[in-house]
Chains A and B, each alone.
Chain A
Amino acid sequence: MSVSGAGPAEARRYTKKDFESDQDVRWCPGCGDYAILSAVQKTMPDLGIPKENIVFISGIGCSSRFPYYMNTYGFHTIHGRAPAVATGLRLARPDLKIFVVTGDGDGLSIGGNHMLHVLRRNVSLTILLFNNRIYGLTKGQYSPTSELGKVTKSTPLGSADRPVNPLAFALGCGATFVGRTVDRDVKHMEEMLKRAAHHNGTAFLEILQNCNVYNDLAWNALYEKESKLQYELRLEQGKPLLFGALDDRKAVIMDGVIPKVVSAASVPASALWVHDEKNVNAAKLLADLWAPEFPIPVGVLAAVEAPVYEEILLDQEKRAVSERGAGDIAKLLTSGDTWKIE
């Protein structure tokens, strides 16, 4: 692996190039991962963090090759365990900026348990979950986000498992930042990456990603021009939930506790559902919306403050030291019940 000849980090102005490693990128041509990699590399300079303080941790899968292509510190670990590895790293090194790169299989199937617990603990990590609804690296078996009845090599007559919704899952786990973006919308992706990276606590960003080899156009509803116009619901803080063509604006409103799509013109402004990232309950309703009955929300569903795992623990340590001094093993060994033999 190459070593960059960086000078004093603070003094440097980075460009995207600084974050490109010397390794050949080995994803299939046309894979959505390329766009994500490019967007991440492009976003890095804007974080204002010295390059050497950035770490990418991944598990196993196509997405998990990611760290090799970033010219930062990186650790490609084992299947599903990246959130746990990152938790240990965070506790050892609260000074680092840590990204976790995972996929729908890695993060929600074999690593589902770790994902649950990292989210509820609210460890300061930025988790990027590339959701392509398929197992790519193992050559095309259905994944935990594949739709019911999905025909793959391992399910020739269609899958029998209902899919998990990553955003609903994350919110159910108590995630403090939940967002969604799309690999083909570079600008939005960059904006979301920045938002996620700046969150204090665990940020969970689902990136809808195209696996053109095993599950091409799984997110066509948001790729194809007409359909994107019809179904994309851009979430913006303080703005009403409006979507669809400009000449036929639609709105999502609350009918009691049930979301409902209406013609925007048919309801008074006061009846509109105004997006509020601080409202986790509303986010839980948004997470379940999907085409064709509803629009597909993209953007930040929820961003709230909550106690941060490593901050609590390190604060306990700091207080213990300041109240009683740093530990001294020689003192401990002779404390309590001891006796002398002459």
Chain B
Amino acid sequence: MSETVAPVRTAAKQLRELDRAVVRFAGDSGDGMQLTGEQFTTESAWAGNDIATLPNFPAEIRAPAGTLFGVSSFQLQFGSQRVYTPGDRLDCLVAMNPAALKVHLSDLKPGGLLVVNTNAFDKRNLDKAGYPSNPLDDPALAERYRLHKVDMTALTLEAIKDLSLNQKEKERTKNFFALGVVSWIYTRPLEPTLEWIKKKFAKNQVIAEANARVLKAGHAFGETAEIFAEHYAVEAAELPPGLYRAMTGNRALAWGLLAAAQRSKLPVVYGAYPITPASGILEELAMHKRFRIRTIQAEDEIAAVTAAIGASFGGAIGVTASSGPGIALKGEGIGLAVTAELPLVIFDIQRGGPSTGLPTKTEQADLMQALYGRNSESPVVVLAPATPGDCFYIAYEAVRIATKYMTPVLVLSDGFLANGSEPWPVPDINSLPPIDVQFRTEKEGFFPYLRDPATLARPWVRPGTPGLEHRIGGIEKQDVTGNISYDPDNHDHMVRMRAEKVRRVAQEIPPTSINGPATGDLLVVGWGGTYGAITAAVERTQLEGQSVASVHLRYLNPLPPDLGHILREYRKVLVPEINSGQLVRVLRAEYLVDAVGFNRVRGLPLATDEIYEAIKQLLGSAS
């Protein structure tokens, strides 16, 4: 279960044994694997581990039972050291039916733990999964893996036979049996899950009792049954001291908005149309009306963005969100905010495309859409969070920049960040920079497109301010006066002005932090949700004594002012992305550096191993 990297002495770093495990729960959509994984995550957080998670579920809401495409899974990596990714290969796989085994077995390390629910391996399910015979009967399976065949269904039913529930309700609790077993294997505390069950089923005592009993039964089974002769402990990770909570990317984006609403003392109007994987933000925000968050479930993506723009015109913080297809629909609206020079925050939770693509899978292929996906010259600020918890800061920063510069700010999150979670140190809210919005009320010398000399922002006027009545719109306007203008030179001037305003946001960007030597053989440049995989891969090569560094960009437009200089300090530049080479193009165009892409577009996070290999390969070609 533990991934051990031999210690290599380097001047900068001392390597210690890495204690970590990668576990995946897999079953039918109806088997409750997401819940099981989330609870196991909570237990691991309690145990003080660092964690990264990867939920993976079918696009179909109720995929037919037993089928390969109906398999739902939840993977997490937890460890006593920093954990950057949900892990590549599995130390432990729990397969609740034949389809889950078939889909996931190839990811299990040789010698890994394989726990299966034998009860589901009947003729029907085997047929559906395309197994001509029962794979559990094949001795090769037990030779290759540490196979544990458990009739979870029967053991579950036995544990709660006296409870007045019907057969179906009883069987449905078997995921807690699996959770109990795995909790025992990895010495996880059951308390958080027992607490959760109590709260969740407070209104249905029998169900609460059943789930709690089955969980304990699974745990006891692991302890007493002879088949588990071993179990593991993963020590608490050495995270910096402080108060922690588990945080997913979508929740962090929502909470970042709450923080921004509170600090700016402005209401947020959030327009959204339901779309995977962004809907969770709308649902989260709708629970927090006390923060003056006003959510509109709009009739379509266009109404969602334009309602947000209307709110910004009114002096509130207008925010909208979607995934790639929805962002495409919002394009004209975003352009309106560009020319009206109103604050607007747009979250794009990227997923596989084009078109409907892979709604529940992750991708990083909307960078070009974010930068250029509108008619004409319509520059917007583009930010990207690096981890689920970072989404909090990025959402807050987006509001700060949007209101300070009177500009749309587009945030590129992705399906992996949105649903993934990590232990997150709770920030001190007072440590966040202020969001100081000053509405113009002074009549003297007012013009709608007067500009702040430092930011080039135009004044924000709340309708209702006497004496400042004015009109704005999508037609080109004269600078300063805002009057409609078709003058060629004015248009050229305004195109440059809007671009320059966005460029000025560079003055907000902190110095780029470099993970590794300041000059060297190779620099890995990443953005977004690949942060963990890149960092882990780069640190591995560093421990091998290679001269490799990485930077992770949170500001994609404008780019950090020091980036050009940094890029030139390395002989090679590698840009891993879950797209066919978008940031790498931007860097090549912007800085004339011979950056090389590493690109996989599988709907899955990049694996540490493959980035590591790519680094080695590029280093090899360099020498």
Contact = CB atoms under 8 A, between A and B. Distances in A.
Given A327-B288, A333-B245, A52 B314 contact: no
A73 to B, nearest CB: 4
Contacts of A6: 466-467, 469
B288 A1 contact: no
Interface in A65-122: 67-68, 70-78, 81, 84-93, 95-96, 113-114, 116-117
Given A3-B443, A5-B443, A341-B241, A50 B466 contact: yes
A209 to B, nearest CB: 21
8 pairs of A and B residues whose beta carbons are closest in the complex: A76-B473, A88-B307, A88-B310, A327-B291, A92-B316, A85-B310, A74-B471, A92-B314
A337 to B, nearest CB: 6
B241 A317 contact: no
Contact of B472 (A8, A71, A75, A86): A75
B475 interface: yes
B446 interface: yes
Interface stretch (A127-135, A247-255, A259-267, A318-326): A318-326
B87 interface: no
Nearest to A8: B466
Contacts of B205: none
Given A84-B310, A317-B289, A340 B471 contact: no
Contact of A78 (B311, B316, B474): B474
Nearest to B261: A327
A87 B244 contact: no
Interface string B236-252: 10011111111000000
Contact of B469 (A3, A77, A116): A3
A77 B483 contact: no
Contacts of A53: 463-464
Contacts of A237: none
A211 to B, nearest CB: 21
Nearest to A317: B289
Interface stretch (B15-23, B127-135, B292-300, B353-361): B292-300
A332 interface: yes
Nearest to A324: B290
A73 B463 contact: yes
Nearest to B47: A339
Contacts of A73: 463-464, 469-471
A14 B379 CA distance: 42
A138 interface: no
Given A327-B288, A327-B292, 4 more contacts: A84-B307, A85-B309, A337-B246, A342-B241
Interface in B416-457: 426-427, 429, 443, 446-448
Contacts of A9: 466
A75 B426 contact: no
Interface residues of A, number: 68
Contacts of A339: 45-46, 48, 243-245
A47 to B, nearest CB: 15
A15 interface: no
B333 interface: yes
Given A57-B310, A321-B290, A324-B290, A78 B332 contact: yes
B468 interface: yes
A23 interface: yes
A60 B288 CA distance: 36
Contact of B318 (A60, A88, A336): A88
18 contacts: A3-B468, A4-B469, A51-B469, A68-B473, A73-B469, A75-B313, A76-B471, A77-B306, A78-B336, A84-B299, A91-B307, A92-B269, A95-B464, A114-B302, A329-B429, A333-B429, A334-B243, A339-B245
Report the contact-size class of chain B (Cβ under 8 Å from the partner).
35 or more
Contacts of B269: 88, 91-92
A340 B243 contact: yes
Interface of A: 1, 3-9, 21, 23, 50-53, 55, 57, 60, 67-68, 70-78, 81, 84-93, 95-96, 113-114, 116-117, 313-314, 316-317, 320-321, 324-330, 332-334, 336-342
B306 A91 contact: no
A85 B429 CA distance: 32
A317 B303 contact: no
Nearest to A80: B302
B259 interface: yes
Given A3-B469, A89-B310, A329-B291, A77 B303 contact: no
Nearest to A53: B464
A71 to B, nearest CB: 6
Contacts of B426: 333-334, 338
Contacts of A88: 269, 271, 296, 306-311, 314, 318
Interface string B534-548: 000000000000000
Given A88-B296, A326-B290, A333 B470 contact: no
A23 B296 contact: no
A67 B46 CA distance: 59
B306 A67 contact: no
Given A78-B306, A332-B255, A91 B471 contact: no
A218 B261 CA distance: 51
B290 A75 contact: no
